[in-house]
A and B are shown apart, each in its own frame.
Chain A
Amino acid sequence: MPTDVEQWKDEVYGNEIREHLFRFAEEGWDAIPEEEEDAWFERFKWWGLYHQRKGQESYFMMRIGTPNGVLEPGQLRTVAEVADEYARGPVDNPEFGAAYCDWTTRQSIQLHWIKLEDVPDIFEKLESNGLTTQQACGDSWRNIVGCPVAGKDTHEHVDAWPVAEELHETFKGNDDYSNLPRKWKVSVTGCDQGCGQGDINDLAFEPAEKDGELGFNVRIGGGLARKEPRFARDVDIWVPEEKVTDIAGAATELFHDHGDREDRYNARIKFLVDEWGADKVRRVLQEDYVDWELESAGDDLRDQYTYNAGGHEHGDHVGVHEQPDGNYYVGLNVLVGRQGVDDVYELADLADEYGSGEVRLTQRQNVIVTDIPEEDLDDFLAADLLDDYSPDPHPFMRGSIACTGTEYCSLSIVETKNRQVRYARWLKENVDVPDGVTDFHIHLSGCTASCAQPQIADVSLRGMKTRKDGEPVEALDVGLGGGLGENPQFAEWVEMRVPADEVPGYIQNLLATYEDEREGEETFREFIQRQDEDALQALADPEETDYEDPYMHNTKMTWYPYADEDDMGSSPAPTNGDGEPISADD
């Protein structure tokens, strides 16, 4: 039997949702019939609007999809202006203030506290500046990710940016591909470092050579969610650049026709690849979905991949790097990917003043300012903003990634961003960085959806609950040793249900053990990989320290975890277009 979501999608989905969205915006939040709210919220996702969680009714998260993370000159300022004017909630966040932008692990942008009534004005502003929320969420082609410095990278073999652009142009707003069984995440890598993170996408293009021609190998069926992580499988297909869109369309149609629409938890293509195997996926593509003879995979560059490969080489895009044209790009660290709106304005100013105005977003929740001439580099690096968003950050600040968490998300089990900020600061102050470690990744995801990509971090943290002193408290499962590279590896889950206030102590103890017991220049990932199951358990114990965690209570049951009066009954939501509470009598 089709799911509720499939039935709702059958009735209205894709581009046509927009007219309904605008009608509700015109008539106001309470024009949505109560019994239809869940159906409309599901549909609004297709236009990048995600209804916030219980206690925050009438407010939405808005996601802007920026293909390959590229913000063209002027677009960052537009985003800042939208955040400044429209993304302000009833209560400030104690770390980030009243308005802020989130840079996501899929090179997109998220704003919160968006009111339905403001959506038409926001869309007009975004779209008149070349930005869109279309298909940023929902069951369709999501934002296309890739090497964030595509076209500006000395390691590049194929410029992935025009490829990503063409995919974006072809599949965004295309009615033939607008209603898929589930989300469809695509990655394009053009360099020899592997920074497109193709392995964790539904469909991945990776650079490969065939008979002297550069093109792409195709991989299908990667993803991290639901405690069922998969690396994308090699389906033994190579395409030249001009066939990328055709094979992408074919793979999407295969997913459209064969993905499981009766069970959303089995709907991602990774489960179909599990069931069929890579050989059958290739055979069905050949027989039913393409009209040319597929070529077998070419010689890839995976043995050269250094991005998040656990070594001491290129692990992210933070720092100062020369471009092929002699200019420089500078990757700036944004702790947990969240930037207050005043800082976003300042970043846009700096990009205009010293670079081309372009800014790019990475899959590590960081930002890159491109096209800085060598003679301006020192002045750019001396800017005050870089005190807080450093191109040379402390390793614990550099590697801290967090999802949205219970602040806004219905799925999350624990508070994440502000907790991860506190973790990073405490670790920086209290824990010695092992010799040679410049890049140490700690990813905190509030639930098994894995938006912070915890399974590919050195230390993976996943939201959980436990009991401490007789009371239920927020806790984290801890995994170790994940990463990408030539031999990608998901983290091993080692410690389960660690009370959140004992996690920093655990990491401190773990790194002390690593420092004591590592062999020679052994990297952290190598050190973890040589441990057997018992040894992994014995590496360290959780421990209380002077770290203080203000979010140990059940933040999911608050209306907003940082409000002075945080119980559900104190919520002002739902509110009208002016932000005034709508009383039950209205």
Chain B
Amino acid sequence: MATRLRLLDDAAWVSVNDERAVGTSEVWPVAETFCSCELAWLVVEAFVDVGVNGRRVEARPHGHCLNCGESGTAPWLPVGKVTDDGFRLVEGVRR
């Protein structure tokens, strides 16, 4: 079954199957890929893109690291997973 993905509200939310799944202002722990911090604390200011990789829903968030201040757009990071029971959000460190 197809998964409907959208950015809504001026890219403030990722919508998965017509539900706002994840929004800006959240702070994501991100391993290595965003800045020089071993663990970046990425405050999400906007979403640039959303897509799927198999059953994994991914997004490219724009924001900055609360540790070092580095600002920019992150590579694709997981938002959640489409399971037989519906959509499940990722928790913990994103990589």
List A residues at the B interface (Cβ < 8 Å).
4, 34-35, 37-38, 54, 264-265, 410-411, 413-414, 447-449, 463-467, 472, 496-497, 554, 556-557
Contact A34 B18 (CB under 8 A): yes
20 A–B pairs (Cβ distance < 8 Å), ordered by A: A35-B18, A38-B15, A38-B18, A54-B13, A54-B20, A264-B10, A410-B9, A447-B12, A447-B24, A465-B25, A465-B43, A466-B43, A467-B27, A467-B41, A472-B41, A472-B66, A497-B66, A554-B25, A554-B26, A556-B25
Chain A residues near B45: list those with CB within 8 A. Answer: 413, 448
Contact B6 A38 (CB under 8 A): yes
Q: Chain B's nearest CB lies how many Å from the CB of A498?
A: 12
Residue of chain A at shortest CB distance from B48: A265
Q: Chain B's nearest CB lies how many Å from the CB of A63?
A: 16
- Highest count of chain B CB atoms <10 Å: which of A37, A265, A413, A497: A413
Chain B residues near A411: list those with CB within 8 A. Answer: 9-10, 12, 24
A447 to B18, CA, bound (A): 23
Chain B residues near A463: list those with CB within 8 A. Answer: 25
Contact B66 A38 (CB under 8 A): no
A414-B43 in contact given A4-B6, A35-B4, A265-B11 (Cβ < 8 Å): no
Q: Chain B's nearest CB lies how many Å from the CB of A268?
A: 12
Contact A37 B18 (CB under 8 A): yes
Contact A466 B9 (CB under 8 A): no
Contact B6 A414 (CB under 8 A): no
Q: 17 additional contacts, CB 8 Å, given A37-B18, A265-B11, A554-B25?
A: A4-B6, A35-B4, A35-B18, A38-B15, A410-B12, A411-B10, A413-B24, A448-B46, A464-B43, A465-B25, A465-B27, A472-B27, A472-B41, A472-B66, A497-B66, A554-B26, A556-B25
In B1-54, the 8 Å CB interface with A consists of 4, 6, 8-13, 15, 18, 20, 23-27, 41, 43, 45-46
Q: Chain B's nearest CB lies how many Å from the CB of A60?
A: 14
Contact A466 B25 (CB under 8 A): no
Contact A466 B66 (CB under 8 A): yes
With beta carbons under 8 angstroms apart, the residue of B20, B25, B41 that contacts A413 is B25
List B residues at the A interface (Cβ < 8 Å).
4, 6, 8-13, 15, 18, 20, 23-27, 41, 43, 45-46, 66, 69
Contact B66 A467 (CB under 8 A): yes
A35 to B11, CA, bound (A): 19
Interface of A, secondary structure class, is mixed
- List of 9 A-B pairs having minimum Cβ-Cβ separation, nearest first: A413-B25, A410-B9, A472-B27, A465-B43, A411-B12, A54-B20, A556-B25, A467-B66, A35-B18
Chain A residues near B6: list those with CB within 8 A. Answer: 4, 38
Residue of chain A at shortest CB distance from B23: A556
Residue of chain B at shortest CB distance from A473: B27
- Highest count of chain A CB atoms <10 Å: which of B12, B23, B25, B69: B25
A410 to B45, CA, bound (A): 12
Contact B8 A38 (CB under 8 A): yes
A400 to B66, CA, bound (A): 28
Q: Chain A's nearest CB lies how many Å from the CB of B22?
A: 10
A38 to B66, CA, bound (A): 32
Chain B residues near A447: list those with CB within 8 A. Answer: 12, 24
Q: Chain A's nearest CB lies how many Å from the CB of B72?
A: 13
Q: Chain B's nearest CB lies how many Å from the CB of A82?
A: 26
Chain A residues near B15: list those with CB within 8 A. Answer: 38
Q: Chain B's nearest CB lies how many Å from the CB of A289?
A: 29
A556 to B44, CA, bound (A): 13
Q: Chain A's nearest CB lies how many Å from the CB of B41?
A: 6
A466 to B66, CA, bound (A): 6
Chain A residues near B10: list those with CB within 8 A. Answer: 264-265, 411, 449
With beta carbons under 8 angstroms apart, the residue of B4, B12, B66 that contacts A465 is B66
Q: Chain A's nearest CB lies how many Å from the CB of B54?
A: 23
Residue of chain A at shortest CB distance from B7: A4
A37 to B11, CA, bound (A): 17
